[in-house]
Amino acid sequence: MLSIELHKIDFKKFLEAVDLCKGNVFLVTEEGDRLNLKSKLSQFIGIAKLVDGGVINKAKVVCENPEDDSLLFRFNLYGTKVLDEEQEQNSSQSE
């Protein structure tokens, strides 16, 4: 499992990206705690410490699924454009 460091991302959009992930996604705190971001309770507990004005300043994220690594890496680089592409791809596959 690779870790991804996220910087200055939109919190709400990041959680939308996490919801698109197929496997577990963990937030790793500086203290070494691993919080599963697929759990809404963990989202509130873990992210509350990292959010400043609705933007995540710095976070380390670990994914179990390599496809999720790719999605969150692309989200970190390209922002919400990646979400639009993923949602479009998912809707075309379900048709």
Tally of structural domains, the chain: 1
Question: Which domain does 16 fall in, by range?
Answer: 3-94
pLDDT recorded at residue 58: 66
Extract the tokens encoding 78. 């390209």
Place of tokens 């454009």: 81
Predicted TM-score (pTM) of this structure: 0.77
User: Three-state secondary structure along 2-58?
Assistant: CEEEEEEEEHHHHHHHHHHCCCCEEEECCCCCEEECCCHHHHHHHHHCCEECCEEEE
pLDDT recorded at residue 62: 93
Q: Could you tell me which residues are beta bridge partners of residue 63?
A: 25
Q: In the predicted model, what is the mean pLDDT of residues 44-56?
A: 68
The per-residue pLDDT for range 24-39, each reduced to its tens digit, is 999 887 777 788 999 9
Q: What is the CATH number of the domain that holds 49?
A: 3.30.1340
The per-residue pLDDT for range 70-91, each reduced to its tens digit, is 999 888 888 888 888 887 777 7
pLDDT recorded at residue 48: 75
